[in-house]
Amino acid sequence: MNVELVITTLLATALLSAVPLALASVGEALGERAGLLNLGTEGMMLLGAFSGFWVALKSGSLGLGLLTGAVIGLVCGLAFGLIAVVVGADQVLLGLGFTLAGGGLTAFLFRESFGSRQPLLAESMGRPFRGVADAVPIVGQAILGQAWFFYLAWIIVAGAALGLKYTTFGLRIRAVGDAPDAVDTLGISVRATRVYAAMCAGTLAGLAGASLSIVEVGFFQPNVTHGIGFIAIALAMLGRWNPTRIALMAILFGMLRGLGSGLQLADVPVQSDFVQLLPYIGVVIALVVTSRGISLPAALGVTWTRRK
């Protein structure tokens, strides 16, 4: 066994597996900061994954596929936001409904489009820094040998972190989740801010799904996300709704997610059912270890109405 190859492969799969987790989880955190608990992330990811894959396959353009996934996510987020904020529907039930409907719709459309076939994306994504990757030992291929979307995704995550911290919109998102009444007295619309936050969350969930199907695996199959959306919700909590911490958590869990395929690629025999357990058990252990003292956004899950 080539130890150097194993380390490189594991690191590369960990960083790649972290991308959908980080995107979806940062999106979830933006929503939760604004007071919206979106349990529909899993369904929105599946819709982004399917639509993105379909467009990428038909058009031959991977970038267009990713954009489609993001747009579908945006539409889902808008729908979720309007129903949760304006109609005032129960967020838990609504989110579970989105997950159920998203999973069903993508499975149905997949069969309608492809029957029992399992098409693969022929084209692989360009790797802009590949030329210099070999210059750096061990970590070179893992960090510099990735597809272009990999770098874009981390830029988006960094942008979300900076935006939430330094922009007016970021401040408003944090404020409507903690003190909606105070925001309202300043003449800022609580509802509009929450709907915008839901749109951000949906866009990132859709993009996360598309990155899974297009960049990471190169195909779609029913329920391809296998709980990533729910892990993302847990990571948002574990990272205490702070995008930087969430990114670090995502890399840690990307390692657990990628462990199975990484070990297989490096020819290490593993029990697949057992390796699949690891991210979920990891989330539970991490919650037990870090849960003390987490203070969640004060208005999370509560529909806001102006007090008379």
Partner 1 sequence: MAVTPAGIRPTQRPGVGRLLRSPMLDPVWAVLVALACGAIVLLLTGHDPILAYREWIERAILRPRGIQETIVRATPLLFAGAAVLLALRAGVWNIGIDGQVLAGALVAAVVASGLVHQPKVVMWVGAAVAGIIAGAVWAAIPALLRGRFGINEIVTSIMFNYIAVSMTAWLVKGWLGDPDVVLPQTRLIPVDHRLVTFGETRVHIGLIVAVILVVVLGAFFSRTVAGYEIKAIGASPRAAAHGQIPVDVSITVILIGSGAIAGLAGVNDVLSTKGAFQAEWNPAYGFVAFALVFLGQRSIIGLIPAALVFGQLSYAADVMPRAADVAPAFFDVIEGALMIALAVSVWARSASSGRIRFGSRGGGGDV
Residue 294 as a binder of partner 1 (CB under 8 A): the answer is yes
- 111 binds partner 1, rule: CB under 8 A: yes
307: contact with partner 1 by CB under 8 A: no
Length of the chain (residues): 308
Residues 23-42 contacting partner 1, CB under 8 A: 37, 39
Q: Measured at the alpha carbon of residue 33, what is the angle toward residues 190 and 46, in degrees to the nearest 5? A: 105
What does 10-54 look like in DSSP terms, one character per residue?
Answer: HHHHHHHHHHHHHHHHHHHHHHHHTT---TTHHHHHHHHHHHHHH
Q: Which is nearer to partner 1, 96 or 139 (CB)?
A: 96
From candidates 222, 242, 248, 266, binder to partner 1 by CB under 8 A? 222
* Interface positions, 182-221, toward partner 1 (CB under 8 A): none
Mutual angle of helices 148-166 and 3-33, in 10-degree steps: 40
Closest C-alpha among 3, 139, 32, 153 to residue 95: 32
Contact flag: residue 117 with partner 1 (CB under 8 A): no
For residue 211 the two structure tokens come to 């990155």
Using CB under 8 A, pick the residue from 59, 136, 287, 306 that binds partner 1.
Answer: 287
Residue 268 binding partner 1, by CB under 8 A: no
Crossing angle for the helix pair 190-210 and 168-178, to the nearest 10 degrees: 110
Other Cβ atoms less than 10 A from the Cβ of 118: the count is: 10
- Site residues for partner 1, window 234-253 (CB under 8 A)? 234, 237
Contacting residue, 100, 132, 162, 182, with partner 1 by CB under 8 A = 100
Shortest Å, Cβ 112 to partner 1: 5
Name which of 63 and 97 has its Cβ closer to partner 1: 97
Supply the minimum distance, in Å, between the C-beta of residue 204 and partner 1. 19
Alpha helices in 118-210, H assignment, sequence order: 130-133, 139-144, 148-166, 168-178, 180-185, 190-210
Q: Does the protein bind partner 1 through residue 149 (CB under 8 A)?
A: no
Residue 97 is a binding residue for partner 1 (CB under 8 A): yes
Question: Does 181 interact with partner 1 (rule: CB under 8 A)?
Answer: no
Q: Output b/e per residue, 189-207; b: 16+ Cβ within 10 A.
A: ebbebbbbbbbbbbbbbbb
Which of 304, 287, 300 lies closest to 32 in space, CA to CA? 300
- Beta carbon nearer to partner 1, 60 or 88: 88
List contacts with partner 1 (CB under 8 A): 37, 39, 43, 83, 87-94, 96-105, 107-109, 111-112, 222, 226-227, 230-231, 233-234, 237, 271, 273-274, 276-277, 280-281, 283-284, 287-288, 291-296, 299-303
